[in-house]
């Protein structure tokens, strides 16, 4: 199999593993296919399950380490932004009820 | 063999070795510090490094058997429900630790007197207080003054953000009327930037010590300490990066190689004067191993909480169950810590481990059903010294320099089991009140043996302890131990703050008595 075809096959496999999602980057766009394809020779590339096993950790690590995915996850945080609560207000009860705590410990 | 000379030799450049190096570098003596690990660049171990999450699983994995680097030695934990977690490099485990800087409580220093367990320390909180304060200032400990559990702590940097999940938990703690407080963290914060920068002992202590004249030698593994008589040592044999053996003569030797490294070196330094290991006339070197059994509790919520964000480590803690209570079926107690939830890669591996994620069409559904939606707690239990828990040299598994590895023999006591069970149940209750929809809890967690102590215990009697109150070996006048292996009790808090305060105090004593110690006829 030609290198170009190996990359094509890998692209297909990646999209099977981490499929398209509207708010997350497409897997094959953020992973270096050229680098990944160097790991496979003609024989191995035919066995899809074997490839998935072999590249699973690398794909997950590279995918979530990519700037595109990091930014997508950050956006998610912004969308779920909560109003700030005052720490001091939360601590009033502890301060009031646990006054002798330090001496006892 | 090439011979070198120094006045004071410090073995180990981690939490205690770095502090000791800095303190002693202020004298006019020749101070040398050897560490088996490399000197890494700050960029490599930085907590803000984008690749930190991956590094933690490989190069910076706390399990020595997984990372298996040139400087590491095998640690066999098959005979223990808890395995050892550490890091071997200049800076030691502070390169990867959580930086949770809780102090011991006053009663932690006399548990025998108060609760009839462990041994009492030979010094107390009040002796250490000024060193705790100094170390907090040096490390840049942030926190909030006014904690009822630590009323005497003052002058901290602004507290770290406790985040959305911290606030949810705070409300649950309040409902139960349990103690909680924002964590004390070695994270340098400012009013503008509460996420902070986490320092390690490399920047805080070692760089200053080097400016003072410290000779720091990375990649230098101490093979043996050499005795000159029944009560004195005269130097060490170490292997340098080029694999050459060097004899380094020293007038005074300080061991600061951790609760595992220190007894390993002593046991391996057996000779005609000490056939069972150096400074081991008592037979207690390696014995009384204490680890903090750790329970893990995770609550899953319906909403995204961004719980993967914030400071790595602990954001709020509770000492509600820290002290003994006659109504409970265990003595002493535990700390509850709220931990940051895993980042995306760790989250994937966690889900994969429990077969809760698959590649394919449900990948993101599985992933986002978990990621950022959990609140994680840990229960850190006080452990008791027991001679049946010990480390020994493992001659079957040796390191790359043919030095024996370490075998851990450790069992959970009934007290620890009861304490863990109590902690797990109470944390479940806390998470239920906080609104968690699904809760899982288990313990002890295997790879959590960060807090290692007791293996060269401090005590008054030569018969049942290894060092005296100055960290000086009972058997050897010019050999000192300044790390957590001398702790007679473990407390239920992270050890870093106390390790460093103790090292500062003990090396202050060495400085005050230099004439006495350096004029011994080796």
For B365-413, how does the pLDDT look when each residue is reduced to its tens digit (9 = 90+)? 999 999 999 999 999 999 999 999 999 999 999 999 999 999 999 999 9
Q: CA B161, B162, B166 angle in degrees (round to 5)?
A: 165
For chain A, the residue count is 105
Structure confidence at residue B195 as a pLDDT band (50, 70, 90)? low
Q: Which residues of B touch A77 (CB under 8 A)?
A: 304, 306, 309, 372
What is the pTM (predicted TM-score) of this model? Answer: 0.94
> Domain span at residue B462?
2-341+373-518
Name the residue among B442, B375, B355 with its Cα closest to residue B166: B375
Residue A73 forms part of a structural domain: yes
- Six token digits for residue A47: 């066995």
Give which of A92, A102, A104 to mutate to test B binding, by max B Cβ within 10 Å: A102
Which residues share a beta bridge with B3? B247
Give exposure, B210-223, as e/b (b: 16+ Cβ within 10 Å).
eeeebbbbbbbbbb
Question: How far is the alpha carbon of A89 from chain B, nearest alpha carbon, in Å?
Answer: 10
CB of B237 within 8 Å of any CB in chain A?
no
Query: Chain B residues with CB inside 8 Å of A100's CB?
Result: 148
In chain A, the number of structural domains is 1
Provide the domain limits for residue A55.
3-100
Token look-up 């190096």 returns: B21
Please check whether residue A83 lies inside any domain of the structure.
yes
Closest CA to B189 of B149, B151, B162, B150: B162
- CB burial of B91-107 (b: ≥16 within 10 Å; e: otherwise) equals bbbbbbbbbbbbbbbbb
Chain A CA closest to residue B180:
A94
Query: Which residues of chain B make contact with A76, given a CB cutoff of 8 A?
Result: 304, 372
* Residue B54 to residue A65, Cβ atoms within 8 A: yes
pLDDT of residue B292: 97
Calculate how close chain B gets to A34, using CA atoms only, in Å.
Answer: 21
Question: Is B514 domain-assigned?
Answer: yes
Which stretches of B260-383 are assigned E, i.e. beta strand?
Answer: 294-300, 314-318, 334-339, 374-381
| pLDDT surpasses 60 at B143 | yes
H/E stretch holding A46 reads none
Query: Is some CB atom of chain B closer than 8 A to the CB atom of A44?
Result: no
If DSSP codes are grouped into helix, strand and coil, which group holds residue B497?
helix
Predicted ipTM beyond 0.90: no
Which among B151, B349, B361 has CB closest to A102? B151
- Whole-number Å distance between alpha carbons of B135 and B152: 15
- Contact, B184 vs B161, CB < 8 A? no
Per the structure block, which two tokens stand in for B1? 């063999």
**pLDDT on residue A24:** 92
B435 touches chain A (CB under 8 A): no
Return phi, psi of residue B311, to 5°.
-75, 135
Average pLDDT over residues B317-332: 96
CATH number of the structural domain spanning residue B397: 3.50.50.60
Per-residue model confidence as pLDDT tens digits over B433-487: 999 999 999 999 999 999 999 999 999 999 999 999 999 999 999 999 999 999 9
Q: Token match 């004390």: residue?
A: B184
* In B223-280, alpha helices (H): 258-268
Tokens representing residue B415 in the block: 């007290």
Contact criterion met (CB below 8 Å) for B284 and B119: no
In a domain, B328, yes or no: yes
Structural domain includes residue B353: no
Q: Please, are residues B267 and B392 in contact by the beta-carbon 8 Å criterion?
A: yes
- How many Cβ pairs closer than 8 A exist between chain A and B? 93
Contact A80 B107 (CB under 8 A): no
Q: How confident is the model at residue B43 (pLDDT cuts 50, 70, 90)?
A: confident
Integer Cα distance of B84 and B425 in angstroms: 26
Confidence label for B188 from pLDDT (cuts 50, 70 and 90): confident
Note if the bond before B444 is cis, omega within 30 degrees. yes
pLDDT at residue A81 tops 60:
no
Lookup: tokens for B164: 């959305």
In this complex, is the C-beta atom of A83 within 8 Å of any C-beta atom belonging to chain B? no
CB spacing of A21 vs B309 below 8 angstroms: no
The verdict on residue B150 lying in a domain is yes
pLDDT of B95:
94
Q: Minimal CA–CA distance to B264: which of B403, B411, B90, B91?
A: B403
Question: How far apart are the C-alpha atoms of B354 and B143, rounded to whole Å?
Answer: 36
How many Cα atoms within 13 Å fall on the side-chain side of residue B282? 26
Contact yes or no for B177 and A95 at CB 8 A: no
As for how many domains chain B has, the answer is: 1
Residues in chain B: 522
CB contact under 8 A, A99 and B148: yes
Backbone angles phi, psi at B263, to 5 degrees: -65, -30
Instruction: Tell whether A89 is covered by a domain.
Output: yes
């Amino acid at each position: 199999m030609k290198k170009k075809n190996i990359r094509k096959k890998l692209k297909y496999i990646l999209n099977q593993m981490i499929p398209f999602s509207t708010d997350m980057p497409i897997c094959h766009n953020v992973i270096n296919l050229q680098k990944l394809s160097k790991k496979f020779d003609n024989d191995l590339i035919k066995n899809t399950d074997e490839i998935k096993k072999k590249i699973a950790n690398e794909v997950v690590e590279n995918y979530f380490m990519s700037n595109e995915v990091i930014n997508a996850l950050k956006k998610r945080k912004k969308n779920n932004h909560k109003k700030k609560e005052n720490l001091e207000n939360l601590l009033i009860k502890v301060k009031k009820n646990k006054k002798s705590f330090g001496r006892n410990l | 063999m090439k011979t070198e000379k120094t006045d004071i030799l410090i073995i180990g450049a981690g939490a205690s070795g770095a502090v000791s190096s800095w303190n002693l570098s202020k004298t006019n003596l020749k101070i040398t510090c050897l560490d088996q690990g490399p000197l890494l660049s700050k960029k490599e171990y930085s907590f803000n490094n984008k690749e930190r999450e991956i590094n933690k699983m490989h190069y910076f994995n706390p399990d020595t058997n997984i990372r298996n680097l040139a400087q590491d030695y095998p640690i066999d934990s098959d005979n223990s429900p808890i395995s050892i977690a550490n890091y071997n490099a200049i800076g030691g485990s502070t390169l990867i630790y959580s930086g949770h800087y809780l102090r011991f409580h006053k009663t932690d220093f006399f548990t025998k007197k108060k609760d009839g367990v462990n041994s009492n320390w030979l010094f107390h909180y009040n002796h250490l207080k000024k060193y705790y304060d100094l170390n907090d200032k040096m490390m840049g400990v942030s926190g909030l003054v006014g904690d009822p559990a630590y009323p005497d702590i003052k002058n901290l940097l602004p507290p770290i953000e406790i985040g959305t999940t911290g606030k949810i938990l705070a409300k649950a703690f309040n409902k139960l009327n349990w103690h909680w407080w924002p964590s004390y963290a070695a994270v340098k914060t400012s009013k503008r930037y509460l996420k902070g920068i986490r320092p390690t002992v490399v920047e805080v202590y070692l760089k200053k010590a080097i400016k003072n004249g410290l000779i720091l030698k990375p990649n230098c593994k101490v093979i043996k300490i050499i005795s000159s008589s029944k009560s004195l040592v005269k130097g060490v044999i170490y292997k340098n990066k080029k694999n050459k053996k060097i004899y380094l003569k020293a007038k005074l030797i300080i061991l600061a190689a951790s609760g595992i490294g220190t007894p390993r070196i002593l046991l391996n330094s057996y000779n005609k004067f000490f056939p069972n290991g150096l400074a081991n006339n008592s037979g207690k070197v390696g014995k009384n191993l204490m680890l903090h059994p750790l329970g893990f509790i995770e609550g899953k919520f319906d909403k995204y909480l961004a719980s993967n964000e914030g400071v790595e480590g602990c954001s709020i803690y509770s000492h509600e169950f820290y002290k003994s209570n006659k109504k409970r079926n265990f003595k002493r107690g535990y700390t509850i810590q709220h931990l940051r939830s895993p980042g995306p890669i760790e989250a994937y591996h966690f889900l994969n481990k429990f077969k809760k994620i698959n590649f394919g069409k449900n990948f993101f559904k599985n992933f986002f059903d978990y990621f950022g939606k959990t609140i994680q707690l840990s229960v850190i239990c006080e452990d008791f010294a027991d001679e049946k828990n010990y480390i020994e040299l493992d001659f079957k598994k040796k390191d790359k320099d043919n030095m024996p590895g370490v075998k851990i023999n450790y069992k959970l006591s009934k007290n620890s089991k009861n304490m863990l069970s109590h902690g797990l149940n109470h944390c479940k209750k806390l998470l239920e009140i906080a609104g968690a929809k699904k809760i899982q809890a288990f313990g002890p967690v295997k790879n959590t043996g960060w807090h290692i102590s007791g293996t060269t215990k401090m005590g008054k009697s030569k018969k049942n302890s290894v060092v005296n109150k100055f960290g000086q070996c009972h058997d050897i006048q010019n050999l000192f131990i300044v790390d957590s292996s001398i702790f007679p009790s473990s407390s239920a808090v992270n050890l870093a703050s106390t390790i460093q305060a103790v090292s500062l105090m003990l090396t202050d004593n060495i400085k005050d008595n230099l004439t006495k110690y350096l004029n011994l006829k080796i």
